[in-house]
Each structure stands twice: as structure tokens, then as C-alpha cells.
Amino acid sequence: MKTVYILGAGFSVEAGAPTQAAIIPQAFKLYETNSSYFDKKRFSEFTNFIKEQLAIPEERFSNIALEDIFTPLDRCLSENSQFRGVSLDNIMRIRESVFYVVGRTIQILLNNTDKSKDYINDFAEYLTKLSSVRAHENYRSKDPVSVISANWDILLDNSIHQFILRKDCYDAVVDYCCYISSRDENDSSVKPGLEKLGQGGFNVKLLKLHGSLNWLQCPRCARLYAKFSSKEAINNFAEKTSCRHCDKNFPEEDGNHLLAANLIMPTYIKDLSNPQYKIVWQNAGIEISEAEKIVFIGYSLPSADFEMRQLLSRMTRKNVKIHVVDYCEEDSQGNVKSHWRSFFGARDITFSFDGAKTYIDNLVNES
Ligand SMILES: [Zn+2]
């Protein structure tokens, strides 16, 4: 029986991560509490854009939705058009600043939370143990589990990575299911999954549909670089680094291939043309098509997420078992149920409404 877990923001909330709607209000709250949390120049680029271009008055700043910030920016970039007098170069920069504020806010909240991420560690251990049957070249016949995540945070990524490092018996990698290079040249704990399987080890599959805070991409060769236990995409704003492969291949331009964060932001016109994201999305489709059971944790299947909806509607088996883990009071459970039933029709759907932590505690205890 193959199970695919699909995670949304609700998966990380009980460990202290913000929901998407809370990111902008939280950013302003943090800046008010302690402005030294942020790079001042970046933060004021972000607020100026909201004030000047979007014409939102200051008292309404914290109500603005990420979609309304990113959709016009991304549309202008994809059409090569300027936005209300702002040149393309500046749009790129503003986009980076908004991205910086978003990523930094998640980072600060997770660093300062008093909530425990034990349940995420438990889930990481559970996934790694299940995946270990693929070792010793058994991967052709065994493929019990994978995770597809819509989240940028790296709570689960780090938990899996640390569990593998702690256990000498596991020769494994976190497999982002695209071609990934290690950020530090000598870091052997970051390897493509296929390479690890070929060596007799195994992979724990974690497909991140919207990118990851620990990924950086080379603008020239499109290689993705990853590092664990570090939110690279945010740290990169302070200290830019260059693609070591391109620097070697094009020595006349040494240092000119600055790595950049490249997350998929919430917009109504997501740009998934990036070659690495195409691979991740294609592989996610394959995982879904192979699933006999799909468990959604903290994911609400919103209408704006139409790429995910079309992927599910194209690739989900008719006889798949679906379980939805949400966190809500009894009076809204009926609406949640009909929302999912109207999407998946006659398929077998079950629900639990006590949140991710309770669900994972039970899952681990039963295993
Ligand atoms: Zn490169």
C-alpha cells in the first residue's frame, strides 16, 4: 500500500509557523517590536511598494494579502511590462524585498516559538523507517511513501535530515525529487536521490511544490543548491554567493553567477516554467498517480491553488482512499466535508479534525 502525504501550512502551524494569511500582519508586528529583526532598506522597499504603488494607507498595511502583492509583480515580469511607472529592474528588486520580508518573518517566528516540533520529528522518523525498505536496491519493487509539501518552511526537511545523520544504520538522503547540488562542496549529506539509491542507500521523498527556504538557484545553469539546518534563501540576502560550477566553467566571469532564492509565491498566475519546478511538479503527479492512499494534512484545497487542483483531478486514482486532517470546531466540520466531497466525488473520504499533531501522535503509536 503506497501512501502519499500532502502537506499545507496547517501541518507546521502547531510547531509555530504562521499561516499564509498571518505572514504580512506578523511581519509588521515584528518590525514594530524590534526593527533590528529586518534589514531596514529591504523592509522599507517593501512598505514603500505597498504605500506608493498599491496605494494602501498605513493603517491597512497588515490586511493586505500576499496574492495581491505578488500577482501584479509577477504578471509584469512575465509580460516584460512596467508596473505603474516602476521599471522591470525595480520590480525584480521589490519582489526580492517582499520575498525577504516573508522568509525572514517565518524564520523569526520559528526561532522564537515556544511550541514543540516533537510531532514533526516523530513524523520524520516514521517516514524514514518506512522508506528504508528501499535500500539495497529494493527500490524497484518497494515504494511505500512520499510527501508532497506546499510549504516553504524546512521543519520536516531538517527533522528527516537530522534523524538520518543520527542513525548510523541509515545510508539515506532527503530526496527533493529534482536535481539538487550541495550548497557546500564537501557536504556529502546532500545528494540526488537516484545517486543514493544506486549506491545501495535509500531516499526519503519530499517534493516541495512551491520551493524551499533552503534552496538557492543559479540564474545561468538553473542548478538548485540546498543545505540543511539553514534558511539559505534568507541568509543569502546578507551574503551573496556565486555558482561554483559556472564559476569554474566560465572563469572569465568568475563570481558573476550569483545564486538567488526562487520560491513560488502565492499568486493567481504562478510561473511554473522554471525547469526544476517542472520536474518537481511532474514527479508529484507520478507520486499521486501511484498512491493507494492520500492523506492531506493542514491543506485546505483552496480555489486559488488551481494548479494543485488540476494535478489532483488528473492524477488521482478512482479507488484511492483519502483522509483529510484539519483543525476545526464541530460547527464548521460540515462545510469542510462537503468542500472535499464535491472535489473528489464518490471516492472514499474520511476525516479527522484534531489537527496534525494529534493525527501524527496516533499514526506513530499505531506503527
Ligand atoms: Zn551555475
SS3 for 290-335 is HCCEEEEECCCCCCCCHHHHHHHHHHCCCCCEEEEECECCHHHHHH
For residue range 30-60, list pLDDT tens digits in order.
999 999 999 999 999 998 888 888 888 888 8
Taking only the tens place, the pLDDT of each residue in 101-119 is 988 999 999 989 999 999 9
Distance 250 CA to ligand 1 centre (A): 9
CA atoms within 13 A on the CB side of 290: 18
Distance 219 CA to ligand 1 centre (A): 7
* DSSP bridge partners of 294: 4, 322
Residue 106 CA, ligand 1 centroid: distance in Å: 28
Give the distance (Å) from ligand 1 centre to CA of residue 247. Answer: 7
pLDDT at 233: 67
Spell out the residues 6+ positions from residue 106 whose beta carbon is closer than 8 angstroms to its own: 17, 18, 23, 152, 153, 213
Q: How far is the CA of 186 from the centre of ligand 1 (A)?
A: 17
Q: How confident is the model over 211-221, as a mean pLDDT?
A: 89
Distance 220 CA to ligand 1 centre (A): 5
pLDDT at 18 over 80: yes
Average pLDDT over residues 141-164: 95
Residue 241 CA to ligand 1 center (angstroms) comes to 11
What does the block give as the cell for 34?
Answer: 524590534
Question: Residues near 137 by Cβ (< 8 Å), separated by ≥ 6?
Answer: 197, 200
Grid cell locating 319: 479507488
Q: Which three cell numbers stand for residue 269?
A: 498566475
Read off the pTM: 0.92
Distance 227 CA to ligand 1 centre (A): 16
Rounded Cα gap, residues 181 and 228, in angstroms: 12
Q: Which three cell numbers stand for residue 355?
A: 489537527
Q: How far is the CA of 193 from the centre of ligand 1 (A)?
A: 20
Strand order across the beta sheet in which 172-175 lies: 172-175, 202-208, 145-149, 3-7, 293-297, 321-325, 348-352
Distance from Cα 243 to the centre of ligand 1, integer Å: 5
Q: Is the pLDDT score of 343 beyond 90?
A: yes
The pLDDT score that the predictor gives to residue 65 is 81
Starting at the edge strand found earlier in the chain, the sheet holding 215-217 runs 180-182, 224-226, 215-217
User: What is the mean pLDDT of the segment spanning 63-75?
Assistant: 80
Neighbours of 202 (CB within 10 A): 26
Gap from CA of 216 to ligand 1 centroid (Å): 11
Strands 224-226, 215-217: pairing is antiparallel
| Cβ atoms 144, 131 nearer than 8 A | yes
The CA 249 to ligand 1 mean position distance, Å, reads: 9
Question: What is the distance in A from the centroid of ligand 1 to the CA of 258?
Answer: 8
Å from CA of 257 to ligand 1 middle: 6
Q: What distance in angstroms lies between residue 86's CA and the mean position of ligand 1's atoms?
A: 29
pLDDT above 90 as % of the chain: 57
Could you tell me the distance, in angstroms and rounded to a whole number, from the CA of residue 221 to the centre of ligand 1?
4
Q: What is the pLDDT of residue 57?
A: 84
Residues 6+ apart with CB under 8 A from 289: 315, 316, 317
Give the Å distance between the CA of 282 and the centre of ligand 1.
Answer: 23
Residue 45 CA to ligand 1 centre (angstroms): 28
Q: How confident is residue 185, by pLDDT bands cut at 50, 70 and 90? A: confident
Q: Cell triple for residue 69?
A: 502583492
Phi and psi (nearest 5°) for 312?
-65, -40
Determine the distance separating the centroid of ligand 1 and the alpha carbon of 256, expressed in angstroms: 10
CA atoms within 13 A on the CB side of 155: 31
Cβ contact 79:275 at 8 Å:
no
Q: Does residue 287 carry a pLDDT above 90?
A: yes
Query: Where do we find the cell 526519503?
Result: 204
Mean pLDDT score of the chain: 90
Please name the residue that has the C-alpha cell 535530515.
Answer: 161
Q: Residue 212 and residue 198: Cα distance in Å, rounded? A: 26
Cα 217 to middle of ligand 1, angstroms: 8
Q: How far is the CA of 251 from the centre of ligand 1 (A)?
A: 12
Q: CA angle, corner 76, sides to 309 and 215, nearest 5?
A: 60
Q: How far is the CA of 203 from the centre of ligand 1 (A)?
A: 25
**φ, ψ (nearest 5 deg) of residue 245:** -70, -45
C-alpha 259 – ligand 1 centre gap (Å): 8
C-alpha cell at 3: 501512501
Beta bridge mates, 349: 322
Tell me, in angstroms, the distance from the centre of ligand 1 to residue 295's CA: 37
pLDDT of residue 350 exceeding 80: yes
Question: What SS3 class is residue 224?
Answer: strand
Q: How confident is the model at residue 269 (pLDDT cuts 50, 70, 90)?
A: low
Q: How far is the CA of 244 from the centre of ligand 1 (A)?
A: 7
Percentages helix, strand, coil for the chain (3-state, rounded to 5) are 50, 15, 35
